[in-house]
A and B are shown apart, each in its own frame.
Chain A
Amino acid sequence: MNFYAIKAIYLFEMSRTFRTITQSLLAPVISTILYFVVFGSAIGSKIQTIEGISYGVFIVPGLVMLSVLMQSITNASFAIYFPKFIGTINELLSAPVSTLDIIIGYIGAAATKSFSIGILILLTAHLFVPLNIIHPFYMISFLLLTCFTFCLFGFIIGLWAKNFEQLNLVPMLIITPLVFLGGSFYSISMLPLFWQKLSMFNPVVYLISGFRWTFFNVSDFSFTISLIATISFATLCLIIIFYMFKTSYKIRT
């Protein structure tokens, strides 16, 4: 393993974040505040509790997941797509780095960013509502796992994308609807039976449900199922990335 290369990639990516620190951190925080104003105060005041939890508090895990998923995908896809776009990927391809080195460097940096944003959103949420996290260790671990998993997914999109349009296509057209329909702002049990059944095919449902369990010990599905689903998805993403590098799919000519 090329530790110096992993360190170089990680620090290089992090320095890119620090150059745009204001927009990197400020945008998700403002979005969260807006969600709290709209859903927490305006709509939330009309809803008393869900499963015994006040609505403002109930939506916190969903809001964190919403931002973390989008940030993970965007950070990781952009991190590898941009070198492809400007041609600096050739330096990476000509360097003695393995696929694992590349994954650790890029995914490590992207996951660090999205994890930091997740924590920042939690802190922002704490300004609006009292938060009492029942399983803090599981919460941190599950958040980290989610960051890594969706950074891997974003990395695939970045490798696959031919242009900026394709780069935005998956997050905008697939991830955003899945997150909004994945129980970010409601419990799946509140839906009619048909939609409940249909929601079971939405992988984000398991993420939000699992994450909500770490906060409130209440969830639509067992935490173990959420954990297995997330780890399985991460494994699948890893296999796809290794395959793409091995076959040079859309990487080398």
Chain B
Amino acid sequence: MQPIISINNLNKKYLGGFEALKNISLEINKGEIFALLGPNGAGKTTLISIISGISIASSGEVKVNNYDVIKDSLKTKSIIGLVPQEVSIEQFETVLGTVNFSRGLFGKKNNPAYVKGILKQLSLWEKRNSRIIELSGGMKRRVLIAKALSHEPLVLFLDEPTAGVDVELRKDMWNIIKNLKKKGVTIILTTHYIEEAENIADRIGVINDGKILLIEEKEFLMKKMGKKILNIFVNKPLDIIPNSLTKYALKLSADGKTLTYTYDINKDRTGITMLLNDLSNEQIQLKDIQTKQSSLEDIFVNIVKE
């Protein structure tokens, strides 16, 4: 796939000496949804700010659509849309006014039909003449997205777009993002919600302490690092795990009613059949069994811990 963003050996050191980004190299492919995960202060927003021209890198190179973000900044900026983390909009301006302002700022002629389409898609059309100060927090987030989309960007950065919004709005936003992908827009998403990345991303990047720890296809990552858990509920509570079962590294719940077995789905032999046989040999009667796939959240927590 052809990269639309190429980052090479990018470093950012603030005046106080804090190193926000350390030798970052990364390529974002055209038309993909890339989710950048990381805890607070990991460097996600700094990275986005440098690509979109708000901050300046200390060293390294960033290219968008083969143009350098410093030397050809006007060209790179014209194709980038940014939904910032902070809801910073002129509070006394109307919804329509602020969206039209963004379109003009990015060098686009007024296009009422296009802007109407965006506002309708984001359920903002009815509120077009309302002042920003009169809107709810979720509505203000929608306005930020409308502003970012107003100039028909090829690359869209969403910096924590669903932070603090309700489940319904979050799902609406996922649908909007999926529709944008269908239109060929490249989307880079930073989020705290692993569920979000799990639902909509094609590739996942994990950043912590200014370093990229991992970049992987989401499906591959889930398979590669995903482990499954088998919960075995027994009829009679156990005091201890019998010696014959120690090789399975089982965990016994405090009430003695649940045995937990962790296994790797990628192995030819998971050991489940043998375990069930050994349980039968030990005369342990089963009440129920349940399997659970480890989530992206578990994977993320493990990577960041390492």
Query: Quick one: which of B78-97 are within 8 Å of A by CB?
Result: 78, 80, 82, 84, 86, 88-93, 97
B90: chain A residues at CB < 8 Å are 12, 16, 86, 88
Contact with A along B53-86 (1 / 0, CB 8 A): 1111000000000000000011101101010101
Given contacts A87-B86, A252-B55, contact A96 B78 (CB under 8 A): yes
Tell me whether B100 is interfacial, beta carbon within 8 Å.
Answer: yes
Given contacts A93-B53, A94-B80, A252-B55, contact A12 B101 (CB under 8 A): yes
Q: Choose the segment among A1-9, A117-125, A131-139, A210-218 that binds chain B (4+ C-beta atoms closer than 8 Å).
A: A1-9
CB proximity of A85 to chain B, nearest CB, Å: 10
| Residue among A9, A15, A86, A95 with most chain B CB within 10 A | A95
Query: B105 contacts A5, CB within 8 Å?
Result: yes
Query: A4 contacts B56, CB within 8 Å?
Result: no
B103: chain A residues at CB < 8 Å are 4, 8
A12: chain B residues at CB < 8 Å are 90, 93, 97, 101
CB proximity of A86 to chain B, nearest CB, Å: 6
Complex Cα distance A96/B75, Å?
7
Given contacts A90-B88, A248-B56, contact A95 B106 (CB under 8 A): yes
Query: A4 contacts B54, CB within 8 Å?
Result: no
Tell me whether B104 is interfacial, beta carbon within 8 Å.
Answer: yes
B120: chain A residues at CB < 8 Å are none
B105: chain A residues at CB < 8 Å are 4-5, 8-9, 91-92, 95, 97
Query: B88 contacts A88, CB within 8 Å?
Result: yes
Tell me whether A224 is interfacial, beta carbon within 8 Å.
Answer: no
B14: chain A residues at CB < 8 Å are 253
Chain B residue at minimum C-beta to C-beta distance from A105: B105
Chain A residue at minimum C-beta to C-beta distance from B84: A90
Query: A95 contacts B77, CB within 8 Å?
Result: yes
Tell me whether B247 is interfacial, beta carbon within 8 Å.
Answer: no
CB proximity of A244 to chain B, nearest CB, Å: 14
Complex Cα distance A95/B93, Å?
19
A46: chain B residues at CB < 8 Å are none
Query: B101 contacts A8, CB within 8 Å?
Result: yes
Chain B residue at minimum C-beta to C-beta distance from A88: B88
Query: B93 contacts A4, CB within 8 Å?
Result: no
Query: Quick one: which of B8-23 are within 8 Å of A by CB?
Result: 14
Complex Cα distance A228/B147, Å?
44
B101: chain A residues at CB < 8 Å are 8, 11-12
Tell me whether B108 is interfacial, beta carbon within 8 Å.
Answer: yes
Can you give 15 A-B contacts (C-beta < 8 A)?
A4-B106, A4-B107, A8-B101, A9-B105, A11-B101, A11-B104, A87-B86, A88-B90, A90-B49, A90-B82, A94-B77, A95-B106, A96-B106, A248-B56, A252-B56
